[in-house]
A and B are shown apart, each in its own frame.
Chain A
């Protein structure tokens, strides 16, 4: 079945440590996105990518980094510069952009906590 796979489901980070969240999609979508969700809050955009080897900062990119070396993969690194990383992270992908009625499809998320 086509879909988006995020791993791991739960992740713990020590102070000063970088961690990488995985996101893989087999929907053949061009665009991929990373969102952060804090308890009781909506989703906020961290980074997005429309094509391979290109990505753009979202609203809260500080302390995060991404890469897009393959169409199927869009890993997110939470760096030690992100002082409050505890949150639920959601990866999404989307088909042709700009006024399409096609929704973004989401993975099941990764819960990141500080040890």
Chain B
């Protein structure tokens, strides 16, 4: 079963509008972390925002905010006031512990966001 599900293969938004990118996750572990990364066409992965499972408040970083609904196991990324430079692939990822005591990231398949003028 997929641990991270991003149901929107592509999204379109007009410049200056807000957009929400969906992410649902599946885990039975009470302690986990959720990350969002941006991948422009050049390929590098850029960290955007983090939400811990025990965090009481939704995370915010500038124009990025995370709508964290723990009971629904969703962690949607909200980008306010979209800019042309926001056009990229966006990945949701979950950090969980593994048996050896380490932790690893599991990524969703991503959502391609296109911002139009």
Residues of A participating in the B interface, judged by any CB pair closer than 8 Å: 31, 33, 35, 40-45, 48, 50, 56, 58, 88, 90, 92, 97-101, 103-109, 111
Contacts and interface: CB of A to CB of B under 8 A. Distances in A.
A107 B42 CA distance: 12
A56 B42 contact: no
A99 B105 contact: no
A40 B18 CA distance: 24
A100 B98 CA distance: 14
B102 A106 contact: no
A98 to B, nearest CB: 5
A48 B50 contact: no
Chain B, interface size category, equals: 20 to 34
Interface of B: 4, 9, 31, 33, 35, 37, 42-45, 47, 50, 52, 91, 93, 95, 97-98, 100-110
A106 B100 CA distance: 23
| Interface residues of chain B: helix, strand, loop or mixed (majority) | strand
Nearest to B99: A56
Contacts of B35: 103
A42 B108 CA distance: 6
Contact of A101 (B44, B50, B110): B50
A88 B45 CA distance: 12
B91 A56 contact: no
21 contacts: A35-B107, A41-B109, A41-B110, A42-B109, A43-B91, A43-B105, A45-B104, A56-B102, A88-B43, A90-B45, A92-B45, A97-B102, A97-B103, A98-B102, A101-B33, A103-B37, A103-B47, A103-B50, A104-B105, A106-B44, A108-B44
